[in-house]
C-alpha cells in the first residue's frame, strides 16, 4: 500500500473516521432536536386543551350552578336541586384537577414563582428557600413543565422522607441550559419513592428533553441536580 504523501499530517485512514464522527455528531444533534420538537408539540397541545377546558366548559358549569342556586332561592328547591348543585361542583373540581395535571396553573406566573408557591405550602418544617442566580429568561413550555414536575417531586421527597430541617432550591440559566439543584440536610440515603413520579420517571422526563438528572445522597443529606437544555 502506498504511503501517505509527506506532510499530510494524518494517515489516510483518519479521514473516513473523521467524516463518520462528524456525521454521527450531526445525527445525534438532529435526533435531540426531533425529540425536543416532539415534547414541545405535546406540551403545546396540553396548553390548548387546558385553555379549552378552562375557557369553555368551566364557565358553562359555573353558569349552570348559578341557575340551580337561583331556582333554589325561588322556593323550588328540593333534594334533587341540591344534588345537582353538588354534582356540578364536583364537575368543576374535576376540570380544575385535569387542567392542573396538563399544566400547573402556578406556572402561568413563571417557574420561580411557581416553586416559591409550592415551597410556601410545605409548612414550617422543613424550611424551604428558593433562589435564582439571576432573573430567569423565558423558558420553553416543555422545559418549564418538566423542571417544575421534577423539582417539586424532589422537594416532596425531602419533606416526607429525609427528616430534613432545611431544603434549598437553586436555579440558574447559563448558556443555553437550565440548571436546578434541590439540597436537603436530612439523614441521607433518601430515595424518591415509587408512589409519586418516581426516580425513574424523573430521569425519563429529563432525558426525553436531552437533559440529565443526578442524585447524590450521603450522611449530610441529599442533593438532586437537574440539567435541561432550554
DSSP string, 141-163: HHHHHHHHHHHHHHHHHHHHHS-
pTM tops 0.75, yes or no: no
pLDDT of residue 131: 96
How confident is the prediction along the chain (230 residues), in pLDDT tens digits per residue? Answer: 455 555 555 455 667 788 888 888 888 888 877 777 777 777 777 777 777 777 667 777 777 777 777 776 666 566 667 777 777 787 777 777 777 777 788 898 999 999 999 998 887 778 899 999 989 999 988 899 999 999 998 998 888 777 788 999 999 999 889 999 999 988 765 554 443 447 778 888 898 888 999 998 888 889 999 999 98
List the grid coordinates of 186: 436530612
CATH 3.30.565.10 fits 107-229, yes or no: yes
Cα-based distances in Å from 56 to 51, 52, 67, 93, 151: 8, 5, 17, 15, 31
Answer whether 204's CB lies under 8 Å from 173's CB.
no
pLDDT of residue 195: 39
Query: Which of helix, strand or coil describes residue 10?
Result: coil
H or E element, residue 98: helix 79-102
Domain ranges for the chain, please list them: 1-103, 107-229
Question: Within 13 Å of residue 90, how many CA atoms lie on the same side as its CB?
Answer: 6
Answer whether 95's CB lies under 8 Å from 59's CB.
no
Q: How far is residue 112's CA from residue 191's CA, in Å, rounded to a whole number?
A: 25
Task: Convert 71-93 to b/e letters by CB count within 10 Å (16 or more is b).
Answer: eeeeeeeeeeeeebbeebeebbe
Residue 150 sits at φ, ψ, to 5 deg, of -65, -45
pLDDT of residue 211: 93
pLDDT of residue 194: 40
pLDDT of residue 112: 96
Cis peptide before 156 (omega within 30 of 0): no
Query: Which of helix, strand or coil describes residue 79?
Result: helix
Amino acid at each position: 500500500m502506498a504511503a501517505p504523501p509527506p506532510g499530510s499530517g494524518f494517515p489516510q485512514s483518519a479521514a473516513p473516521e473523521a467524516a463518520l464522527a462528524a456525521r454521527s455528531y450531526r445525527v445525534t444533534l438532529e435526533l435531540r432536536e426531533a425529540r425536543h420538537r416532539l415534547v414541545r408539540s405535546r406540551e403545546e397541545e396540553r396548553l390548548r386543551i387546558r385553555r379549552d377546558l378552562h375557557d369553555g366548559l368551566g364557565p358553562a358549569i359555573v353558569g349552570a350552578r348559578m341557575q340551580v342556586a337561583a331556582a333554589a332561592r325561588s322556593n323550588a328547591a328540593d333534594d334533587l336541586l341540591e344534588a345537582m348543585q353538588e354534582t356540578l361542583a364536583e364537575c368543576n373540581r374535576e376540570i380544575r384537577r385535569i387542567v392542573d395535571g396538563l399544566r400547573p396553573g402556578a406556572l402561568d406566573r413563571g417557574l420561580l414563582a411557581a416553586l416559591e408557591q409550592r415551597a410556601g405550602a410545605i409548612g414550617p418544617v422543613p424550611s424551604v428557600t428558593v433562589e435564582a442566580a439571576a432573573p430567569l429568561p423565558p423558558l420553553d413550555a416543555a422545559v418549564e413543565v418538566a423542571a417544575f414536575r421534577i423539582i417539586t417531586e424532589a422537594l416532596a421527597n425531602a419533606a416526607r422522607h429525609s427528616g430534613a430541617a432545611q431544603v434549598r432550591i437553586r436555579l440558574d440559566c447559563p448558556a443555553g441550559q437550565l440548571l436546578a439543584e434541590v439540597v436537603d440536610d436530612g439523614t441521607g440515603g433518601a430515595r424518591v419513592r415509587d408512589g409519586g413520579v418516581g426516580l425513574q420517571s424523573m430521569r425519563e422526563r429529563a432525558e426525553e428533553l436531552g437533559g440529565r438528572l443526578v442524585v447524590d445522597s450521603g450522611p449530610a443529606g441529599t442533593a438532586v441536580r437537574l440539567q435541561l437544555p432550554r
